[in-house]
Structure 1
Amino acid sequence: MKRWMLLTGLAALLALTVVKLVMNKRTVEERVYRHDKNAPVHVTVEAALLGGAGQGPRYGGTVVPLREGRVMAEVPGRVLRVAVREGQQVRQGDLIVHLDGELLRLQQESAQVQVAALEKDQARYRVLAAADAVQGIQLERTEQALQTARIQLANITEQLGRTTIRAPFDGEVTQLLVEEGSVVGPSVPVAMLSDPRELEVLLHVSEMDVARFGHGQSVQMFLGDLPQPIKGIVNSIGRRGDVANRFPVRIEVGEDARIVAGLSATVELPAGTGADQVTIPARALLGSSIAPEVYVVRDSLARRTSIVTTTAGNGRMAVVQGLKAGDLVVTSGAVSLRDGARVTYR
């Protein structure tokens, strides 16, 4: 009897617990906010404008030396001496690196001995051949061997001269790539050399923008932290793009002690150059600058749209593909959007 009453009590307690849990679950579910996917999202939009940047289009680049190159080793050898330091000014012909040429010197001495011996043989055979004491073929073979030995000696002497690596032009050592005791081979760079007196700004622009540049065109440049813009002249426009289909544009920089290689550069074209560009606020962009997108509102629906842009200035981006003037782009509230979402806007 007692056992039956105990089981009945446990069953009743379990039933009450289940009922309580069910009621708690319903209460929690009623309190949880459920987003209505069909409810419109309120956003702020702006129309894409024709022009509207207030200035010409801008492009980012870098100040680079007009003349720059690697100083290469031409023969193998161990580095005996590094004669310069990074940042040092050098003149054409100054010693940069000296390689160990002991093995080549031994080869040179051996070749010199061989040449001297063959020259003596040549003189002796000429006398004997004139007296018909030897066949002329022996003299001919000796002369051929002498010619070959002289060529070998000249080749070794030239290689020995190349163990002394010198500056190919006046400039500054921007980087040393070897140290004393290291071993180099042919075509291995030992230093980087550039001429800091002649600088230029290098841009890489898209195929849609390269047509905006012309040889001899005057542009305005903002370099590093310099307070005032610098005038530049376009002196080279590449006709072959890289793998990203960008074209090099080079702009001449006048002499100015404040300008050094490595400064960032922003190049601005004349104001009328981008007057026909469609521009949008930069804050409308989604994702990265490599693959920019925007939300375009059409018929109260937000459509995620891929575009191609360049910098236009004044906080705006020039759109060269993907939008037309008058299109409404979302500038605020995009975080709550998805492609195809219904929106209300102002």
Structure 2
Amino acid sequence: MNTKKFLWIFSLLAIIVMMVLQLKKNKEITVHKVYHYDKSAPISIHVDTLRLQWLNNKTSFTGIFNPNHESKISADVPGKIVSVFVDEGSVVKKGQPLLQQDKSDFELQLKQVEVNIKGLEDDVRRYSVLKKADAVQGVKLEKAQLGLQAAKIQKAILQDKINKTTVRAPFSGIITMKFREKGEYAAPGMPLFQLVDISNLKFTINVSENEVILFKTGKEFPVVANVYPQDQLIGKVTTVGSESNKMSHDFPVLFAVKNTPGLKIKAGMFGNVYVKREANKQHIIIEASSIVGSNIHPQVYIIKNGKAWLHDIVISGRFKNKAIVSKGLNPGDVIVTTGFINLFDGANVTIKK
């Protein structure tokens, strides 16, 4: 074999061997650098030793105030706006004029119809006299009478349209938005104003299935707006939701609330309704943050012999950041409250002091 060719083959083989050795070395370095989680290593946690507690007999539920009535007001007939009588923030009474449209075309049509009515009334009188004398066929009298009835109906329709050119407030309230100005055109379905009635309010809360039994239609509860804690209102339950929210599994409860004399409570404000519970026995109460799993299948980690074990529980109620446990836990049980990262069923744990 040619010496030069042999040296070339030997050099190529040497390069390949060196590359293989380098790749093997790199792999070993990478394997050593990769973090390998040691499942036997204890996980640091905080715990709570459970005991029976008296349940606070006063619970609050947060909700939001909404107007009793809220409506966008539009014109019933088309026409140019000739006058606007209110502005945003105006307090109006039911039936009060808000806006005037041009009614001149309708008034001209009305005058024409009134002339027709007068002529038809004359015809009816004349044909009535002639028919008695058999000087005219009865069909002409009937035709004149039908024409008179149709003209009177047309007059009533025009009069109604003229009346509707004055847009009035359908209920008492406050003008919160004005969408059109003088000189613009108004048409049916086109919003002109937004009218809100906050003299009476709707207050809505959402409660769990275990708490919905606290509320009965017609029952009254204290309601307080967050910004006016000194003003206690009375909320009367009007509706208890018959179906829960699909996501949160909460039920809506609606209250009717009469606003303060100065209408201080505004739509969109937050408030609380207060409910007294019967404190007839003690309960196991845990922090809601201790619960893992879902609302349908709640669980906690119980510490036994230095290990954390997942344990099923049954929750009978919630309030604020607490949960009332009716089944699955006993006084003296130790549960994990924080340190859930990397925690698993059967994990070794060390308790932080």
TM-score of the aligned structures, taking structure 2 as reference length = 0.76
* Alignment-derived partner of residue 137 in structure 2: 135
1:241 alignment counterpart: 242
Please tell me the residue identity of whatever aligns with 1:161: N
Q: Which segment is superposed worse, 205-214 or 298-307?
A: 298-307
Measure the CA separation in 1 of the matches of 2:270 and 2:92: 26
SS at match of 1:195: strand
| Displacement after TM superposition at 1:135 (Å) | 1.9
Higher strand share goes to which structure? 2
Equivalent AA in structure 2 for residue 301 of structure 1: W
Q: Which residue of 2 aligns with 1:29?
A: 31
Structure 2 residues not aligned, in runs of 5+: none
- One of 274, 277, 301 as aligned partner of 2:309: 301
> Gaps (5+ residues) in structure 1?
none
Query: Taking every aligned residue pair, what percent have the same amino acid on both sides?
Result: 26
Give the 5 Å matches for 1:101-112.
101-112=103-114
User: Which of 157, 160, 166 is the aligned partner of 1:158?
Assistant: 160
Shift of 1:212: 0.8
Alpha-carbon shift at residue 216 of structure 1 (Å):
4.5
| Higher alpha-carbon deviation: 102-111 or 27-36 | 102-111
> Residues 43 and 100 (structure 1 numbering): CA distance in 2 closer, same or farther, change over 3 Å?
farther
For 1:279 and 1:102, the matched residues in 2 are separated by 74
Distance of 1:273 and 1:200 partners within structure 2:
30
CA-CA distance at 1:147 after TM superposition: 1.2
Distance, in Å, in 2 between the alignment partners of 1:109 and 1:341 is: 94
Cα offsets for 1:115-153 (capped at 9, x unmatched): 222112112212322332112232122112211210121
1:112-123 paired onto structure 2 within 5 Å: 112-123=114-125
Equivalent in the alignment of 2:76: 74
Residue identity matched to 2:220: Q
Helix, strand or coil for the counterpart of 1:280?
strand
CA deviations on 1:254-285 (whole Å, 9 max, x unpaired) are 62644333211122212547978764324336
Distance in 1 between the 2:325 and 2:82 partners?
58
Spell out, residue by residue over 1:300-326, the C-alpha distance to the aligned partner (whole angstroms, 9 max, x if none).
43369897964x13x424579xx6554
Q: Paired residue for 1:98?
A: 100
Please, which moves more after superposition, 188-197 or 300-309? 300-309
Following the alignment from structure 2 to structure 1, what is the Cα–Cα distance between the partners of residues 166 and 199? 26
**Equivalent position of 2:339 in the other structure:** 333
Number of aligned positions between the proteins: 336
How far apart are residue 171 of structure 1 and its match?
Answer: 2.1
RMSD of equivalent CA atoms: 3.9
CA distances 1:214-236 after superposition (whole Å, capped 9, x unpaired): 53434353x2334x354333323
Q: Are residue 255 (structure 1) and residue 260 (structure 2) matched?
A: yes
Residue 9 of structure 2 aligns with which residue?
Answer: 7
The answer to whether 1:217 aligns with 2:225 is no
Residue 287 (structure 2) aligns with:
281
Cα distance in structure 2, aligned partners of 1:263 and 1:254: 12
Cα deviation per residue 1:4-37 (whole Å; 9 max; x = unaligned)? 2233123213312321220231132123221245
